[in-house]
A and B are shown apart, each in its own frame.
Chain A
Amino acid sequence: MTDPRRQRRIWYAVGAVLVVAFLAYGTTSFKSNLTPYVSFEEASRMGSKVQVAGGLVENSTKYLDATEELEFAMVDEDGNTMTVHYNGVKPGNFEEAVQIVAIGSYQEGVFSAEQLLVKCPSKYQGLEDDVRKYGSET
């Protein structure tokens, strides 16, 4: 054991095993944590964690006192609607969102979102529209 070369080799081996184990752990949790973008219809079939995108159905937002959740309806490009429940604070600009991305899973008729991403009619977006309208000198 006092042979420094041998000792070094042992440490290298231990380190390598740890690194490999970590990489394996990382890869699996990376893969299992990926949330693919799917359509409403696929989301309702899959039941696993996914993300869906759509517009907010106007005036569909309400706060459910009983479950302390926000409820609203989303509509996708094909016109399908889906009820979403979200147990969190309503993001800023929610009502004015051009698109909402909900990350969660479909359970018992509603999509339970863990996270909402709100795409504002952002100034970036608005800016682009105006550029298209007026043109811009570059």
Chain B
Amino acid sequence: MYLPGTILMWTALLAGLASTITYWLSIREPERWRGPARQSYVLMTFAIVVGSALLMYLLVTHDYRLHYVWAYSDNLLPLHYLISTFWGGQEGSFMLWIFWGVLLGLPLMRFSRAYESRVMVVYNLTLLSLILLLVKQDPFRFHQGLTAAMTPMDGQGLNPLLQNPWMVIHPPIMFIGYASLGIPFAFAIAALWMKRYDEWTKVSMPWVLLSLGSLGTAIMLGGYWAYETLGWGGYWGWDPVENASLVPWLATLALTHGMLLQRGRGRFRRLNLVLATAAFLLVVYATFLTRSGVLADFSVHSFVDLGITGMLVFNMVFFLLLSIALLLYRWREIPAEVGDEPFVSRTIFFVVGILLTILIGVVVLFGTSAPLISRLWGAPAQVGPDFYNRMSFWLAVVFALFVGGTPFLGWSRTRKKVGRIFAITLAITAGLLVVAFAFGLRGVPATVYIAAALFNIVANGWAVLDYGRNGRWRMAGGPVAHIGLGLLLLAFLTTGWFDREQKVRLAEGEPTEVLGYTLTFRGVEKPTPQARDAMVVEVTTPRGQNFVLKPRMWVNQKTNQLIANPDIKAFFTKDLYVAPVEFEPGKDAPVSSRMVLAKDQPTSFRDWSLTFQGFDLARQNAVPGALTVGVVIKLERPGAAPVELEPSMVSTDEGVQPVAVDIPEVPGAKIRATGMSVDDGVVRVEILGLGGGIGRTVVMAKGETVNYQGLNIAFDDFDMSDFDPEAGKINFGVVFNVEVDGQTIEVIPTYRGGMGGEPVITPAVVPGTGGITLSPGRIDAEGGTVQLQVYDPSLAPKGAAPASLVLDVSTKPLISFVWVGTIMVLIGIVMAIVLRRKDVATIPVEG
């Protein structure tokens, strides 16, 4: 083990123990023990902060002696991802949790007023339970049995899916939420302990709101990451790990409102104590579910049991029993609510809202625990997203109606003179519903749901204005958050029910219409050798707007995983979402000709003439990290202006890649340079993808005629005028009479053989046919026959296929409301924190 780190962990553990004990003593004698207790807490904080800094330092400096550093980071990671490897693994994420936990404890000590000693005893215990995990599963341990010389040179690297900016900030925010939930728990236990059942809600309100805000932010960031990175098109998949953070959030949400009710009406004392303990216990339970491996077969976030399951269960049972025992012990003496409230009052609406929140939480909790519950009567099984959606749908409708109704109500009666406002709200809702119909809203359940969500938005919009008109903007946190909730509910339905999705195969360069958009795949872009391959897709919207999307599909070199990332174009009313499904590299056209070109010496190919004019080093840095050499070739063709083509060769560490260029006016044809010799001034080039091939092969005797594509070709005779074996000249021509446009033309391919060297056959082009060429194959001079090969350039090239990309294209109506809605919820929470923080000072201090 890395001694300084391990010593720090032990220091933290012992200092935490000391703080717990001295705080216990300070319950009786605060004057005497509070000082030492605070000091040992600060020492624990110091040890954890230094320990975290040390782990970060070891990660950033690539100290691969440490198992943790080796397992989660590597040499290639840029600094920001290197920092995020801190919480890339189990031990580090616990470390982060503890880090926030001890830091939050500092202001907690200062602001916990009369509850300080007891709160800190309990809070210290929650921290110690986490520190113990890390003393057992030490993040500072070395690889065992490796000598210094055997220290790995590089690490395993970070999961490429986590190499995303959102994943850098998601865990730290999530763990602020986790850590801060320990605080209301500590207050609830302390309240039961001291029998002071009312003040704790005021002191812990800012902390509860902090949990609510940070967990909410983290959940949204996680959803946004999934939407932007994973490519299945959604932001929420009801995965156990997602649910594990949602359930504590719902409990915290219920607690927030319960505490408001207790503050306003003196109700819900018992329920709030239950909720505050439940929120914390749910976090512990969630940790157990996701870290112990019990869900390994049911979640994509597969965590393997690291051997801490026993301790996690112990922690859970310990805090559960503590809470239940204390609650039962005090239950009867907690003052219950008195007096009745009419049903149509803010109080009852709050109660219903809180109960609905709890119900949704229970549904999600049961669904997530299905693999554990179903074990009771059979094989473990899980429930699919369908369960959650079905269960939450009508709950959400009722929920939205109650949240929307609250602004019109006072604590115990309907507010005065709101009848007219209520009618206007209903009218606006109906108007918006008509707009929704115009945009394609159909179906009774969807209509009811949308109506409820719209009513909620309009009603709370009025509430915000009402606060503002009375100059009490700062009290509008609740309604602002509730508008956000309404937007979220709207978006849940539109993105879930009214999204349109289609898969399509795009051949390179071929525009294809999908969902009204015209998509053209333009090939793979890889500007640097390290870059992730981007699929360039040009998009034209139905309105004629043009843009380029670049979904990525790349292979992570380290793990050899194929990773696909979607790309998104956000419009005001919807997102266009393209996720790559499959990429098939094109097959190169077959090589039509290979030739070696010497500098400035024209070489003929068919009726073309190619001249190598020299190398071009002007663009040698065109590809970063590689050397690009251009090869300038002049191409002259009959009936066309000469052109200069510049295929190039890109030399990288992995070898030389030829980059072909198109030959103008010949579709599909390319030329590329495959080799060069600078000293000799020669290049080797290949012409690809020219159509054409042997259209007909036939053995003919003199006087015979064949018909190829309406062309009559007659074998007339051999031309022996230059035939002189004595002189070593075995040269002759083969005379064909070809009828073109009613005229008979003599076409004479020639054969030149003799001593030394290969015989040379020069095919002859039939004029006026676009390049049909006659070529003699085997020749039997004695028998007077010749094998005629008719070469036809118009034949389609064989084997060439353009690259193709299969895309999953979808539109997500109103998905921006998910992000806007969450942000409004967060703004509302922040407004509430600002409003409620002053309550803390009204509680007397201890002693």
Contacts and interface: CB of A to CB of B under 8 A. Distances in A.
Given A127-B71, A137-B144, A70 B581 contact: yes
A37 to B, nearest CB: 5
A103 interface: yes
Contacts of A94: 562
Given A34-B374, A103-B384, A138 B71 contact: no
A30 B581 contact: no
A8 B340 CA distance: 8
Contacts of A4: 340
B230 interface: yes
A53 B302 CA distance: 15
B31 to A, nearest CB: 43
A138 B231 CA distance: 39
A37 B378 CA distance: 10
B1 interface: yes
A30 B387 contact: yes
Interface stretch (B177-185, B363-371, B445-453, B486-494): B363-371
Contacts of A119: 296, 302
A117 interface: yes
Nearest to A101: B297
A128 B231 CA distance: 29
Contacts of B231: 89, 92
Interface residues of B, number: 62
B72 interface: yes
A120 interface: yes
A103 B386 CA distance: 12
Interface in B330-347: 340, 343
Interface in B351-384: 359, 363, 366-367, 370, 374, 378-384
B299 interface: yes
Residue among A29, A51, A93, A121 with most chain B CB within 10 A: A93
B390 A29 contact: yes
B725 to A, nearest CB: 59
Contacts of A89: 231-233, 564, 579, 581, 808
A101 B298 CA distance: 8
Contacts of B367: 30
A95 interface: yes
A60 interface: no
Interface in B112-152: 136-138, 141-146
A123 B374 contact: no
Contacts of A35: 381-384
B67 to A, nearest CB: 6
Given A89-B579, A92-B230, A115-B384, A136 B143 contact: yes
B560 interface: yes
B563 interface: yes
A76 interface: no
Given A4-B340, A88-B232, A117-B298, A34 B370 contact: yes
A47 interface: no
B615 interface: no
Contact of B560 (A70, A92, A96): A96
B326 interface: no
Interface string B287-307: 000000000111110111000
Interface size classification for chain A: 35 or more
B503 interface: yes
A27 B67 CA distance: 46
Nearest to B232: A89
A74 B138 CA distance: 39
Given A30-B387, A63-B582, A93 B299 contact: no
Given A53-B297, A114-B384, A124 B340 contact: no
A115 to B, nearest CB: 7
Contacts of B161: 92
Contacts of A37: 297, 379-381
B144 A135 contact: yes
B559 interface: yes
A35 B381 CA distance: 5
Nearest to A65: B505
A68 interface: yes
Contact of A125 (B304, B343, B806): B304
B378 A36 contact: yes
A121 B558 CA distance: 13
A71 to B, nearest CB: 11
Interface string B379-412: 1111110110011000100000000000000000
B799 to A, nearest CB: 20
Contacts of B505: 63, 65
11 contacts: A22-B395, A30-B370, A33-B383, A49-B384, A65-B806, A89-B233, A93-B561, A136-B67, A137-B67, A137-B142, A137-B143
Interface of A: 4-5, 7-8, 11, 22, 25-26, 29-30, 33-37, 49, 51, 53, 63, 65, 68, 70, 88-96, 101, 103, 114-115, 117-128, 131, 134-138
Given A34-B383, A37-B379, A92-B231, 18 more contacts: A7-B343, A22-B359, A25-B391, A29-B387, A30-B366, A35-B384, A36-B374, A88-B232, A90-B564, A95-B562, A103-B384, A118-B300, A123-B159, A134-B143, A135-B145, A136-B141, A137-B141, A137-B144
A-B pairs, 7 with minimum CB distance: A33-B387, A68-B503, A137-B144, A33-B383, A34-B381, A135-B144, A124-B304
